[in-house]
Amino acid sequence: MISLKNPGQIAKMRDAGKILREVEDEVREKIRPGVSTAELDILAERLIRKHGAIPSSLHYEGYPCSICASINDEVVHGIPSEKRVLREGDIVSIDCTLLLDGWQADSAFTVGVGPISDEAERLIRTTEECFWKGVRQCVIGNRLGDVGHAVEAHARANGFSAIRDFTGHGIGKEMHEDPAVFNYGEPGRGLRLRRGMTLAVEPMIAAGDWHLSVDEDGWCARTVDHSLCAHYEHTIAITEDGYPEILTLPGFNWEAEA
């Protein structure tokens, strides 16, 4: 079931998104060679709680941490650990979801640890571009197939592949709501977008093939061919006219973009 949000509810999600942005920006600052992903997780949890929010991932279906930290060929759901120390040349995806006053915000980004290869730079840049290609399709009357197609086509045009086994999703009172927001699709197909839909749009893009395997911990998904993967996610709201509001990028202005 798809729940449409009224302006008051979207305002609550905007508040959650603002805090999540602050948390993730602080975590990003700490990323450097020698830092463990457990340190990033502890920092994120502390900041989330300091703002009066709750880390949504912690204990979610048994997940043990407040962020996912996925390194190199890890796609999503990397479990933070003291043993996972970031090294120069790695890329790391940080994905965090929080709950503020009953409303969720979900966002992810990938960064390099110190200098990284040209291909890794290009993968991170392309993944972010895939997000924007998809989000520009998120206007009233368009369909989810338009969004997925835009993401996948941009990945493919750059020689990369969009992950198929994980998707974006509706979001609101729950972290994961309907509909699934696929990172591939056929233009003109799928659910029609309506005002008040709030979605997590999250391209996951592999430098090689999109097939995944899941580690023995039952969580961490990685590419079978061990190619690098990047992830970029924001929570958005489909608004009355024009492009959507990016709830996890407070102050973002489409006019300034164009």
Residue 245 interacting with ligand MF3 (CB under 6 A): no
Residue 90 interacting with Co ion (CB under 5 A): no
Query: x-or-dash pattern for ligand MF3, window 147-186, by CB under 6 A?
Result: ----------------------------------------
Q: How far apart are CA 243 and CA 32, in angstroms?
A: 35
15 with 100: CB under 8 angstroms?
yes
Structure tokens at 41: 């997780």
C-alpha 142: how far from its chain's center? 21
Residue 246 interacting with Co ion (CB under 5 A): no
Residue 200 interacting with Co ion (CB under 5 A): yes
Residue 233 interacting with ligand MF3 (CB under 6 A): yes
Q: At what angle are helices 37-50 and 7-30 packed, to 10 degrees?
A: 140
> Least distance in Å: CB of 20 to ligand MF3?
10
Would you say how long the chain is, in residues? 258
> Least distance in Å: CB of 233 to ligand MF3?
6
Binding partner of residue 57 among Co ion, ligand MF3, none, CB cut-off 5 to 8 Å per kind: ligand MF3
Nearer to Co ion, 90 or 106 (CB): 106
Q: Which residues contact 164 (CB under 8 A, 6 or more apart)?
A: 182, 183, 184, 210
**Of 15, 45, 95, 152, which one interacts with Co ion (CB under 5 A)?**
95
> Least distance in Å: CB of 257 to ligand MF3?
24
Residue 207 interacting with ligand MF3 (CB under 6 A): no
**Of 60, 85, 116, 191, which one interacts with ligand MF3 (CB under 6 A)?**
60
Residue 54 interacting with ligand MF3 (CB under 6 A): no
Q: Is the preceding omega at residue 187 within 30 degrees of 0, hence cis?
A: no
Residue 63 interacting with ligand MF3 (CB under 6 A): yes
Q: At what angle are helices 118-135 and 144-157 packed, to 10 degrees?
A: 160
Task: Sheet with 177-181: list strands edge to edge.
Answer: 177-181, 168-170, 198-201, 234-237, 245-246
Q: Where are the beta strands (DSSP E) in the chain?
A: 54-55, 67-71, 74-76, 91-100, 103-112, 161-162, 168-170, 177-181, 198-201, 204-206, 212-214, 221-223, 229-231, 234-237, 245-246
Judged by CB under 5 A, the stretch of 133-141, 152-160, 200-208, 214-222 that binds Co ion is 200-208
**Of 138, 200, 207, 246, which one interacts with ligand MF3 (CB under 6 A)?**
200
Binding partner of residue 68 among ligand MF3, Co ion, none, CB cut-off 5 to 8 Å per kind: ligand MF3
Residue 248 interacting with ligand MF3 (CB under 6 A): no
172 with 4: CB under 8 angstroms?
no
Residue whose C-alpha is closest to residue 105's, from 95, 115, 120: 95
Judged by CB under 5 A, the stretch of 16-24, 128-136, 191-199, 228-236 that binds Co ion is 228-236
Residue whose C-alpha is closest to residue 87's, from 72, 73, 77: 72
Give the interface with ligand MF3 as residue ranges (CB under 6 A).
57, 60, 63, 68, 77, 95, 97, 106, 200, 202, 233
